[in-house]
């Protein structure tokens, strides 16, 4: 019998509910035809990358020496690319970040892994808020820490500060937030960020050590509200930002993003060094070199995001009309309505009778809810509405 890490075997074989639902949808599509299956399981952007991405790729392939284009870059990323990305942030947020505050990564997942490995010492506790992106647990535990989940405030999915304060003990090393949120689509208000910053400042002082705020922002540009998204590092100094071009530029397969260690972070140079060290220890070497250059050329642009808003309005209005309860989702491309029975998995099973594929909130640490990933063609939503309606009738939401 070979000796393997049992943890890694478990991680490699336990399929997430999202993947299972997606595989089920594919299987049903093969059996009954794709046009009969309405799959809302996965968060793969449904709009293409903007044309400027393809133009940048062509131009780079045509003009840059292939040895440089496909070669290793410095571990933290090409210096000119980091300069361009820092300037883009400075333009948008009125900041003065130098190129050396950015560390380029393989998407937000790479950024989170590096930050958690950089901060986490064995036994460290990290907090996050339900519902949360399930990979957080994997990344935190891989860094030797433990993840504690603060219960959800299911009224509006802003932070429940009483529950948060109770969980914020001296053992907490960092707090992970994600706004706009997967799976709720909720955007943290300025009031929430202000109170979060106040609480962390007060507790850091009381406990005599910094409590790091890790802001996971792959959906930063996908917002439907008129008020601007609060820029978290402007509210709390010890914030580390994990960003990705997966969603804003529809490039999830190209694996490009960054960690931002703003200069006002306590011992910023040391923290940045630890992030670089984490990337080295995890074997990332450098972020994909071609797409570093593409990101620099396309910084500040987005894919055509209007379809997501159309989808959200169509689905949200219809579901509310049918009697479903759903917190206001002003960003990302997910809805997270309450299920009409407490057992969300049972609701998802019932939905499958109609070949309507959803993911239960249990996967995100929030039972009694279901995630609907609406980054799909609008016609799919139109086609699926009668299925949601039939379910609503089954549960007596509508007569
Ligand atoms: N964080 C959240 C909240 C996500 O939803 C995702 C992907 O869906 C990620 C991080 C990872 O994104 P990336 O593709 O940039 O690694």
Expressed in angstroms and rounded, the spacing between residue 108 Cα and the centre of ligand 1 is 5
**Long-range Cβ pairs for the range 96-101 (8 Å, 24+):** 96/263, 97/260, 97/262, 97/263, 98/263, 100/76, 100/272, 101/260, 101/261, 101/262, 101/263, 101/268, 101/272
State how beta strands 146-150 and 38-39 pair: unpaired
pLDDT tens-digit map of 231-261: 999 999 999 999 999 999 999 999 999 999 9
DSSP bridge pairs for 25: none
Please tell me the residue having the least CA distance from ligand 1 atom 5: 182
Average pLDDT over residues 205-214: 98
pLDDT of the residue at 35: 94
Q: Which of 44, 139, 217, 218 to mutate to test the pocket of ligand 1 (most atoms within 8 A of CB)?
A: 218
- Ligand 1 contact, 185 CB (< 6 A): no
Expressed in angstroms and rounded, the spacing between residue 107 Cα and the centre of ligand 1 is 7
Expressed in angstroms and rounded, the spacing between residue 109 Cα and the centre of ligand 1 is 6
pLDDT tens-digit map of 336-347: 999 999 999 999
Q: Which of 41, 46, 49, 108 to mutate to test the pocket of ligand 1 (most atoms within 8 A of CB)?
A: 108
Expressed in angstroms and rounded, the spacing between residue 370 Cα and the centre of ligand 1 is 19
Instruction: Label residue 15 by pLDDT band (50, 70, 90).
Output: confident
Expressed in angstroms and rounded, the spacing between residue 219 Cα and the centre of ligand 1 is 9
From the CA of 257, give the closest atom in ligand 1.
Answer: 15
Average pLDDT over residues 199-223: 98
Pick from 253, 397, 350, 369: nearest CA to 359: 369
pLDDT of the residue at 122: 87
Average pLDDT over residues 329-358: 97
From the CA of 252, give the closest atom in ligand 1.
Answer: 14
Q: Is a pLDDT exceeding 90 seen at residue 195?
A: yes
From the CA of 181, give the closest atom in ligand 1.
Answer: 3
Token couple for 25: 């949808």
pLDDT of the residue at 121: 82
pLDDT tens-digit map of 294-331: 999 999 999 999 999 999 999 999 999 999 999 999 99
pLDDT of the residue at 1: 83
From the CA of 256, give the closest atom in ligand 1.
Answer: 15
pLDDT cut 70: percent of the chain above it: 100
- Ligand 1 contact, 216 CB (< 6 A): yes
pLDDT tens-digit map of 117-162: 999 888 899 999 999 999 999 999 999 999 999 999 999 999 999 9
- Dihedral sign of CA atoms 301, 303, 307, 313 in order: negative
pLDDT tens-digit map of 265-293: 999 999 999 999 999 999 999 999 999 99
Q: Is a pLDDT exceeding 80 seen at residue 375?
A: yes
Token couple for 157: 């999915």
Q: Return d(Cα 236, Cα 215) in angstroms, integer.
A: 11
Q: Is a pLDDT exceeding 70 seen at residue 219?
A: yes
Q: Is a pLDDT exceeding 80 seen at residue 399?
A: no
Please classify residue 277 by burial: count the beta carbons closer than 10 Å to its beta carbon, then call 0-12 exposed, 13-18 middle and 19+ buried: middle
Please tell me the residue having the least CA distance from ligand 1 atom 12: 108
Q: Return d(Cα 281, Cα 70) in angstroms, integer.
A: 22
What's the chain's average pLDDT?
96
From the CA of 106, give the closest atom in ligand 1.
Answer: 16
């Amino acid at each position: 019998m070979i000796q393997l890490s049992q943890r890694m075997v478990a991680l490699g074989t336990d399929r997430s509910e999202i993947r299972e639902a997606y595989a089920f949808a594919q299987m049903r599509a093969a059996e009954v035809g794709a046009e009969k299956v309405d799959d809302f399981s996965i968060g793969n952007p449904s709009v293409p990358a903007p044309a400027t991405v393809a133009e940048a790729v062509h131009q780079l392939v045509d003009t840059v020496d292939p040895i440089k284009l496909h070669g290793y870059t410095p571990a933290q990323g090409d210096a000119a690319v980091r300069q361009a990305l820092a300037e883009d942030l400075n333009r948008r947020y009125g900041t003065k970040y130098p190129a050396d505050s950015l560390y380029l990564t393989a998407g937000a997942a790479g950024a989170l892994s590096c930050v958690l490995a950089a901060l986490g010492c064995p036994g460290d506790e990290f907090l996050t808020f339900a519902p949360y992106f399930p990979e957080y647990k994997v990344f935190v535990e891989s860094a030797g820490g433990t993840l504690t989940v603060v219960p959800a405030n299911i009224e509006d999915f802003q932070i429940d500060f009483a529950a948060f304060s109770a969980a914020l003990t001296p053992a907490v090393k960092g707090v992970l937030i994600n706004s706009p949120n997967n799976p709720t689509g909720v955007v943290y208000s300025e009031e929430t960020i202000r109170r979060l910053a106040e609480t962390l400042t007060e507790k850091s002082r009381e406990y005599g050590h910094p409590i790091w705020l890790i802001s996971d922002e792959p959906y930063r540009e996908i917002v439907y509200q008129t008020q601007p998204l609060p820029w978290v590092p402007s509210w709390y100094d010890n914030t580390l930002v994990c960003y990705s071009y997966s969603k804003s530029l529809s490039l999830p397969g190209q694996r490009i993003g960054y960690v931002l260690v703003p200069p006002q972070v306590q011992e910023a140079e040391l923290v940045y060094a630890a992030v670089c060290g984490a990337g080295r220890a995890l074997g990332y070497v450098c972020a994909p070199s071609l797409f570093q250059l593409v990101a620099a050329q396309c910084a500040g642009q987005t894919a055509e995001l209007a379809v997501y808003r159309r989808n959200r309005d169509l689905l949200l209005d219809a579901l509310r009309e049918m009697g479903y309860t759903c917190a206001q989702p002003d960003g990302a491309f997910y809805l997270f309505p309450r299920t009409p029975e407490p057992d969300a998995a049972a609701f998802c099973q019932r939905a499958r009778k109609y070949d309507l594929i959803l993911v239960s909130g249990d996967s995100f640490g929030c039972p009694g809810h279901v995630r609907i990933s609406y980054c799909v063609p609008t016609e799919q939503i139109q086609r699926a509405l009668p299925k949601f309606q039939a379910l609503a009738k089954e549960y007596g939401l509508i007569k």
